[in-house]
Amino acid sequence: MEQLTPLMPDAPAERLERVAAIKRKAGRSGEFVIVTLETNYSQHGQLCIREERDIVYRDAPRNDARNSLQDEKKRPPPAASLALDLIPDPVLLFRFSALTFNSHRIHYDREYAMSTEGYSDLVVHGPLSAVLLAELVRKHSKVPIRDFSFRAVRPLFANRPLHLRGEFHDGSFALAAYDDHGFLAVEAQAGLGAP
């Protein structure tokens, strides 16, 4: 996401979204498809925000992959100058699903997430993790976020500690979210400065 100019409150805005690419791939967990969406937000004919999202659609997990996370040893998340620990609960996930019009049942139907999709609990939205990381920066910086990028590398689950961390380097924040085992789940970068 890149903010080129601020959106003005109480002014009409236009959102234009398109599928930019569809790629089929195979990895350790099986076949998956990456859909790239480009979204532009404009006001008065001027582009204000440009966003690109890669959404991953995967096959059902193999039985051996379903239990692999349970065998990992816990370790503490790293120390950082910005830190926040929280436990996302089902109410937060349901509200974020409603706010973002996300109807995927892995975020609000625990039985479905566990029995059909093979997860160990409700799955925390990748974009929710990104919002929490961006909010960590917003609360601790007097300079606005100019651009923001993130990549989810491991699922996060409801009812388990989520560890948000951030460090400032050369005009931007390197950010990360760690799961309850202390493993990296989301990595992000927030560039600071006026658009």
pLDDT at 63: 54
The secondary structure element, H or E, covering residue 66 is: helix 63-66
Q: What are the pLDDT digits (tens) for 132-179? A: 999 999 999 888 899 999 999 999 999 999 999 999 988 899 999 999
pLDDT digits (tens, 9 = 90+) for 5-52: 999 999 999 999 999 999 999 887 788 899 999 999 999 999 999 999
Looking at every residue in the chain, the average pLDDT score rounds to 90
Q: Which residue type sits at 152? A: A
pLDDT bracket for residue 55 (50, 70, 90): confident
CA pair distance 37, 84, nearest whole angstrom: 30
The three-class DSSP label of residue 90 is helix
Assess whether pLDDT exceeds 80 at residue 68. no
Mean pLDDT across 63-92: 77
pLDDT recorded at residue 70: 53
Query: Over 90: is that where the pLDDT of 78 sits?
Result: no
For residue 5, give the DSSP letter: S
Provide the greatest CA pair distance for the chain: 54
pLDDT tier for residue 67 given thresholds of 50, 70 and 90: very low
Q: What does the alpha-carbon distance between residue 173 and residue 155 come to, in Å, rounded to a whole number?
A: 22
Question: Which of 10, 20, 14 has the alpha carbon at shortest distance from 48?
Answer: 14
pTM assigned to the model: 0.79
What is the mean pLDDT of the segment spanning 75-101? 93
Find the angle CA(32)-CA(38)-CA(39) to the nearest 5 degrees: 130
Q: In what order do the strands lie in the sheet with 82-86?
A: 14-27, 30-43, 46-58, 2-3, 145-152, 184-192, 172-178, 162-169, 82-86
Q: How confident is the model at residue 60 (pLDDT cuts 50, 70, 90)?
A: low
Q: pLDDT per residue over 30-42, tens digit each?
A: 888 999 999 999 9
